[in-house]
Amino acid sequence: MMFELPEVETVRRDLDKDLPGKRIKVVEAASMKTLGRYKTRKSFTDQMPGWKVLGVSRVGLYLLVAFDSESTMVVDLGSSGSLRRHANKDPLDPDTEIVMTFTQHGQLRLIDAEGTSSVFVIDSDALAEEIPEIESYGLDPVDEPVSWTAFGRVLLQKRTKLKTLLMDPEFVVGIGNIYADEILYHAGLRYDRRSDELSSQEIRRLHRAVVGTLHDAIKHRGTSTPERVFVDPFGNPGGYGEHLEVWGKHNQLSGRNRRAIKRSKFGGEWTYYCETQV
């Protein structure tokens, strides 16, 4: 399961507070596991010493670390990558793939046991060229507020089942299985309802659930589950798992009607829901 928007935004906010102004001393790469765009490790590591971090931003699920060299490091955490801040003397996790040592204030490490993450450096003005899919990205309600009317206009143009639509980055970026199920629970809507058949009231509820669920998950610093462990740059697990209402809770009692939460296969994955969703 890929990390979703609340997890990536949690990492972004932490690093954007911590990294700006730090200058790179040396970069080391343990293997080519996360460097698929390069032919050798040195072609990635040797370009970066001397660069100073300007800030950390996000486009969809890509983290963007901007440098004063007019270059940007793009990081896709995938489903197993973890960006961690460490002191130079801290023991090295055996799954550490990249170590970026600063002239002061420690290191930034990419840890990835499964190798699903990727890292590469581009010219800062070539983002759309290097990652063309971002041109088709849809709404990002965390990055830019969107009204329920604008949300509804886009939604009603689709003829798609709601869970499929929520997980489509051309509609809303960064929503996967966990948050799609939670959003639909909070909106009181079934996963297999057709998007072009919703009433104005249902569109309002869905909009409120999308915005509220994502912001609540970010407030609790993302979701960490046994199926997909997430920790922030300082090693703390995300706390939103304690607030999940339906995802992963098959046969547990719903907080809405005290009856068992159900699950069904949808798109090859389990979908969790309460029978009060219509």
Q: Which residues are bridge partners to 66 per DSSP? A: 55, 72
Dihedral angle sign, alpha carbons of residues 30, 5, 241, 265? negative
pLDDT value of residue 78: 96
Token pair for 105 = 């204030």
Q: Same CATH topology for 5-136 and 148-273?
A: no
Q: In the chain, what percentage of residues exceed pLDDT 70?
A: 100
**Domain 148-273 CATH (choose: 3.30.390.10, 1.10.8.50, 2.30.110.10, 1.10.10.10):** 1.10.8.50
Domain ranges of the chain: 5-136, 148-273
CB contact at 8 A, 98 and 33: no
Token pair for 30 = 């343990």
Per-residue pLDDT tens digits for 170-212 = 999 999 999 999 999 999 999 999 999 999 999 999 999 999 9
Three-state DSSP state, 223: strand
**Domain 5-136 CATH (choose: 3.40.430.10, 3.20.190.10, 3.10.110.10, 3.40.50.300):** 3.20.190.10
SS (H, E, C) 153-218: HHHHCCCCEHHHHHCCCCCECCCCHHHHHHHHHHHCCCCCCEHHHCCHHHHHHHHHHHHHHHHHHH
Average pLDDT, stretch 73-93?
97
Per-residue pLDDT tens digits for 247-276 = 999 999 999 999 999 999 999 999 999 999
Per-residue pLDDT tens digits for 28-45 = 999 999 999 999 999 999
